Amino acid sequence: MPLIPTGSIFSSAKRETVFEASPLSSPVQRERLVSLDVFRGLIIAGMILVTDPGTYAAVYRPLLHAAWNGWTPTDMIFPGFLFIIGVSMVLSVASRARRGDSKGRIAWHVIQRCVLLCVLGLILNGFPYFNLHTLRIPGILQRIALCYLCGGALYLATLKKGTGEAKANIGIIVGVIVALLAGYWAILKFYPVPGFGPGRIDSLGNLGAYIDRLIFGTQHMWAYGLTPGDGVTYDPEGLLSTLPAIASLLIGILAGEGLRGRQSASRRILKFAAVGVVLLLAGWLLNPLLPINKRIWTSTFVLFSSGFSFMAFALCYWIVDIRRWRAWAYPALVLGTNAIFAFALSTIITASFDAIQAHTSSGPVPLHALGYSYIFATWLAPIHASLAYAICIVLLNMAMVAPLYRKRIFLRI
């Protein structure tokens, strides 16, 4: 998700994602890092797949979020997206700096993009009814926007000019990551939440949920953030838990800086895999102190999911850019090169299929339920039918975005 000058909500631009090749190349070559788009596309496909089952009553366990503490593969999707934003930011800023863009100009585009992402997120939250009394204020795009703004500001502030291109001050970024994760743990552990006391990390009594209820009111929070007997009590994209989410993006920035290093591709992959293992183990070992929990984005969740992202991206990088096995990657490239547009489109399709009703002999039925019941559930077991429906929605989104990819049109906010 490179930083692109934006004059409107959507801008069309040619791809300029680059990385420094091995120092064996002279002069230093700059090649497209195709694995970046492929990885992003796989994440978008995963997002669509897990949010569009035929019915939530029949879903394979790995395609559901953990009920509260713990993790599933689905829980790794959103932090993976923040991770890849951090990687992309480093490579994009390097590219723009070579073209002569100043820090101030790049910073202004970061601010613009943050605002537009927030606006788009609110629009998607309200679609198709736009009831301002129940409009959800937090959201996925809003969290991306805030992480992008804070991560971009820190990265630009730490850039320093050396003998070659500008490089970030890694020590400062690592220090901020440690401060965010340690500080968030301390707040959750020791701050006495009014009416609940310290150390509460349940869906009702944790500090983040309390702050969101206080600021937004439950009518403007995620309608499915429920605590039995208490109704809506929390939002998974709330304000306080955005702080550790920023750390997820900053870890992606560290990965991006690692890609710019002058070292062989095999060494780079081994380093990414090793870092991934260390972070995975750190999150797992610290789990007794603070459970891995995506809903409130605990510090251990950041470590564990970042380790997962490092290892998954290393594998994707090896397959796509080192071995150059790319024949399978077309669907991921279609979605990954227009990621935000694909995400917005999938949200619109999902909301429309739930809102539009078809008249049947049994009465009005939403298109979603009609498609699942009459196309898949008539000949497949419920869990298979539910997955088949979700796969078709992924393919539908890909088919609608594919013409843009074929025409080399890349829509960016």
Whole-number pLDDT of residue 68: 97
Asked whether the predicted pLDDT for residue 4 surpasses 80, the reply is no
Give the residue from 363, 352, 134, 114 showing the smallest Cα distance to 242. 114
Whole-number pLDDT of residue 23: 30
Strand partners, 231: 227
- Percentage of residues in the chain with pLDDT exceeding 70? 91
Q: Exposed, middle or buried, 366 (CB in 10 Å: 0-12/13-18/19+)?
A: middle
Whole-number pLDDT of residue 164: 54
Return d(Cα 61, Cα 71) in angstroms, integer. 11
pLDDT: which is higher, 294 or 26: 294
Return d(Cα 158, Cα 67) in angstroms, integer. 39
Helix, strand or coil for residue 193? strand
Q: What is the mean pLDDT of residues 55-69?
A: 96
Return d(Cα 41, Cα 15) in angstroms, integer. 15
Q: What is the mean pLDDT of residues 205-228?
A: 97
Whole-number pLDDT of residue 276: 98
Could you read off the pLDDT of 323-362 as tens digits, one per residue? 999 999 999 999 999 999 999 999 999 999 999 998 887 8
Tokens 């994602």 locate to: 17
pLDDT: which is higher, 3 or 98: 98
Asked whether the predicted pLDDT for residue 65 surpasses 70, the reply is yes
